[in-house]
Chain A
Amino acid sequence: MGFAAPHGDVQTILSSQKQWIYVGHRLIEVPAVDIAQPAIQTEFSVDDVFGPIEAEAGAEAVAEATRSIANLLYPEHVESPTLAVLRLQAGMSQRKLAEAMGVKQPQIARLESGKDNPTFTTLQKLAEALGAPIPIVAGALETTLKVAKNA
């Protein structure tokens, strides 16, 4: 059974099968409302698909897989890392780093693409979130800007 929703002297009782309307003291049955089936989701994001797998695997396994990406996807920057490589080496996704810094993920994307030149405060936040000394992060920023310039 559903619930009564008062509308002045008209009340509607809703259920998944039928609908009744109180008009004054009279209860009138009306045809069942077509209840739309929830749309079937046919498209999924990386988070939708891999989020549950990552949750099941645990944070350390995810961090390990993320670290491996740094070496495998950017072997040329293992020694002189870019900001992206530094993040991957710390086992963090862009979103995780953004959360740790209290900023939005697109800001991390802009930093990593060399489109933003961060303030010293941002650099400090980055260093803290990545667990890396500021000179290392500054060096990574310099490499990032160089790569972006040569792209």
Chain B
Amino acid sequence: MGKFIFHSDAREDIQLLRFDHSVEMLQLGQLFRQLEADPAKFEKIWEDGYGEFRNAQDRFNVLKWRKAQAKGQGLWRLKDLDLERNEKLFRVFYCMHDGNPEQAHVLAVIFKKLNDNTEFDYDDLTSPAAVRMLRAYDGVRGSAR
């Protein structure tokens, strides 16, 4: 069975987001729970490009974070497409730990305003959000040594 392990940064993100987005955080929580419960769905979180916004049957979308991956940092991004279709844009960032695909380390959950990249821009690895995610990633990698 798959397992999500939340970094303290991600936990803090969720704790803060629940004040303004309690229903969405509840929904996101149930998504995590069911992904853990369903190994066939869980393995999709490592499938680059899985899930399409246009396909109403797809519940989530997965992509490698290309800019970070190009620098050798194996970060992934998951979108809840149901929330996305309701213009609630949340980005879940995670990584694998020690080559174990049954564990996903969630490093951050970012709320993105519609058409607004000020909070987070995939192309800018120097933004505060990106810097803390990369630091968290290094922390997770470090703990494997």
Contacts and interface: CB of A to CB of B under 8 A. Distances in A.
Interface stretch (A2-10, A29-37, A59-67): A59-67
Contact of A113 (B14, B36, B39): B39
Contacts of B59: 72-73
Interface in A14-55: 41-46, 48-50, 53-54
Interface residues of A, number: 31
A65 B29 CA distance: 9
Q: How large is the interface on B (under 10, 10 to 19, 20 to 34, 35 or more residues)?
A: 35 or more
Contact of B29 (A50, A72, A94, A151): A50
Contacts of B32: 46, 50
A42 B6 CA distance: 8
Given A44-B8, A45-B5, 5 more contacts: A44-B11, A49-B6, A68-B82, A112-B37, A112-B38
A42 B37 contact: no
Q: Would you call the interface of chain A mostly helix, strand, loop, or mixed?
A: helix
A66 B30 contact: yes
B8 A68 contact: no
A88 B37 CA distance: 11
A113 B39 CA distance: 8
Interface string A75-113: 110000000100010000110000000000000010011
A64 B82 CA distance: 15
B22 interface: yes
A94 B2 CA distance: 14
Nearest to B3: A45
A134 interface: no
B31 A54 contact: no
Interface string A107-137: 0010011000000000000000000000000
Contacts of A41: 8
A82 B23 CA distance: 26
Nearest to B83: A72
- Interface centre among B14, B18, B26, by most A CB within 10 Å? B26
Nearest to A50: B29
B118 interface: no
Contacts of B30: 62, 65-66, 68-69
A112 B41 CA distance: 13
Nearest to A106: B1
